[in-house]
Amino acid sequence: MSYNILTDEKLIDWQQLDEFVKHHPNGNFFQGVPYYQFYKAQSDYYTIVICAVDTNKQIAGSIICVVNRLLPKYKFDFISRALVMGGPLVKQGDDKLQIAELLIHELIKLVKPKAVALEVRNLFDVSDIRPAFEKNGLSFNDHLNFLINTGDGDAALSRVKAGKRQQVRKSLAAGVEICKATTTEEVKRIYELVTILYTTKVKKPFPKWEFFENFFKAGDKLGIFLCMKYEGKVIAGMMCPIFENRIFYDWYVSGDDKNYRNLYPSVMITYSGIEYAVKNNIALYDFLGAGKPKQEYGVREFKAQFGGDLVNNGRFAVTFNMRKYNFSQWLLKRMGYFK
């Protein structure tokens, strides 16, 4: 069958795309229409959507990509990075690989003038369409993640290591409170904690305050903010996208472990996210990454304590111009990014 590739927003049937993603077995937040609309409204990002449509005008595959314009007020495309998470989504069938090749080929064509590099972070097993990536010049890199089957109910909580459950009990006994953020001030405090984490430890670019504020203003359409309070002060928080009550994502999260060590903020907020998924009948908790195999990574050791299944769905990447990429890396380090 032949397919028409659509990249013009005006030609895309957005309602059909929304239904396609929601009903796809690998549908996820980062390939959904609300995600696209959210990023399109952000000043620091450029959005790309591509659909493969069959002769009956039915969507057979789609991919959403976001280009992070790290210095948006300058026309420095060699600093911009393109990111796809959880895509492409392609219908099952004999021509699945063909559709994937068409989508990725078009993606490369659109991204190359706007970014120095492209990364595709796989949220599910894509081994059946791996040749489509490699044919278009992307290389596969191993990358781990933890997934928790929160559809098991309380059994999911029982798989959390005993030491972490004990820390949770101590924290609760000390009087901490877990709740959804309901005010801009609470979200701003979460952003402050994330800022401290990213500037002192992670050393990677992260969104501006407006990104967090707009996510909060969108309400349940995108997800929630969870916060941990002690004596009225937010000491940990998490930005949590939720996809169709099917997947809960551990996205931007941070806790003030330095000043409240005995309350275990990072442990408590992570456990609370898992508990929220369990209590709200959300089938899956996604940690969104646990580093590279055979490489020491303290975050992976931390996440491993919460009883998830370790998977290696990997990532694909391509650099379009190595000289520009290397210069951009040097420049970003000078700006305080990267270790």
Tens digit of each residue's pLDDT (9 = 90 or more) over 49-58? 999 999 999 9
My answer on whether 164 and 138 are in the same domain is no
My answer on whether 138 and 127 are in the same domain is yes
Assess if residue 129 is contained within a domain: yes
Of 102, 64, 68, the closest CA to residue 84 belongs to 64
Assess if residue 252 is contained within a domain: yes
The domain tally of the chain equals: 2
My answer on whether 139 and 157 are in the same domain is no
Residues in contact with 263: Cβ distance below 8 Å, sequence separation at least 6, in sequence order: 170, 171, 174, 176, 230, 235
Residues 214 and 3: beta-carbon distance below 8 Å = no
Assess if residue 186 is contained within a domain: yes
Assess if residue 339 is contained within a domain: no
Residues 223 and 239: beta-carbon distance below 8 Å = yes
Angstrom distances, CA of residue 130 to CA of 137, 141, 221? 11, 12, 32
My answer on whether 135 and 150 are in the same domain is no
Residue 126 per-residue DSSP state:
-
pLDDT one-digit tens code per residue, 131-159: 999 999 999 999 999 999 999 999 999 99
Residues in contact with 10: Cβ distance below 8 Å, sequence separation at least 6, in sequence order: none
Q: What is the pTM of this model?
A: 0.94
Question: What average pLDDT does range 319-330 have in this prediction?
Answer: 78
Assess if residue 62 is contained within a domain: yes
My answer on whether 134 and 15 are in the same domain is yes
For residue 185, the Cα-to-chain-centroid distance in whole angstroms is: 24
The whole-angstrom separation of Cα 309 and Cα 289 is 12
Question: What average pLDDT does range 313-326 have in this prediction?
Answer: 88
Indicate if the pLDDT at residue 257 is higher than 70. Answer: yes
pLDDT one-digit tens code per residue, 52-99: 999 999 999 999 999 987 665 555 565 788 999 999 999 999 999 999
My answer on whether 185 and 259 are in the same domain is yes
pLDDT mean across residues, the chain? 94
The whole-angstrom separation of Cα 286 and Cα 146 is 7
Q: In this predicted structure, what is the pLDDT of residue 19?
A: 98
The whole-angstrom separation of Cα 82 and Cα 320 is 11
Percent of the chain surpassing pLDDT 90: 86
The DSSP string of 239-256 is EEEEETTTEEE--SEEE-
Question: What average pLDDT does range 1-22 have in this prediction?
Answer: 97
Q: In this predicted structure, what is the pLDDT of residue 70?
A: 66
Residues in contact with 224: Cβ distance below 8 Å, sequence separation at least 6, in sequence order: 180, 181, 240, 242, 276
Of 43, 41, 39, the closest CA to residue 30 belongs to 39
Indicate if the pLDDT at residue 16 is higher than 70. Answer: yes
Q: Can you give the CATH number for the domain in which 234 is found?
A: 3.40.630.30
The whole-angstrom separation of Cα 273 and Cα 184 is 20
Residues 243 and 28: beta-carbon distance below 8 Å = yes
Assess if residue 170 is contained within a domain: yes
My answer on whether 124 and 168 are in the same domain is no
Amino acid at 132: A
Assess if residue 246 is contained within a domain: yes
The whole-angstrom separation of Cα 63 and Cα 57 is 17
My answer on whether 93 and 201 are in the same domain is no
Q: In this predicted structure, what is the pLDDT of residue 330?
A: 75
My answer on whether 181 and 326 are in the same domain is no
Angstrom distances, CA of residue 266 to CA of 127, 250, 254? 34, 12, 6
Residue 169 per-residue DSSP state:
H
Specify the length of the chain in residues.
Answer: 339
Q: Give SS3 for 2.
A: coil
My answer on whether 108 and 14 are in the same domain is yes
Indicate if the pLDDT at residue 196 is higher than 90. Answer: yes
Q: In this predicted structure, what is the pLDDT of residue 80?
A: 84
My answer on whether 190 and 241 are in the same domain is yes
The whole-angstrom separation of Cα 273 and Cα 164 is 14
3-state secondary structure 58-84: CEEEEEEEEEECCCCCCCCCCCCEEEE
Range of the domain at 55: 4-143+313-334
Indicate if the pLDDT at residue 288 is higher than 60. Answer: yes
My answer on whether 170 and 206 are in the same domain is yes
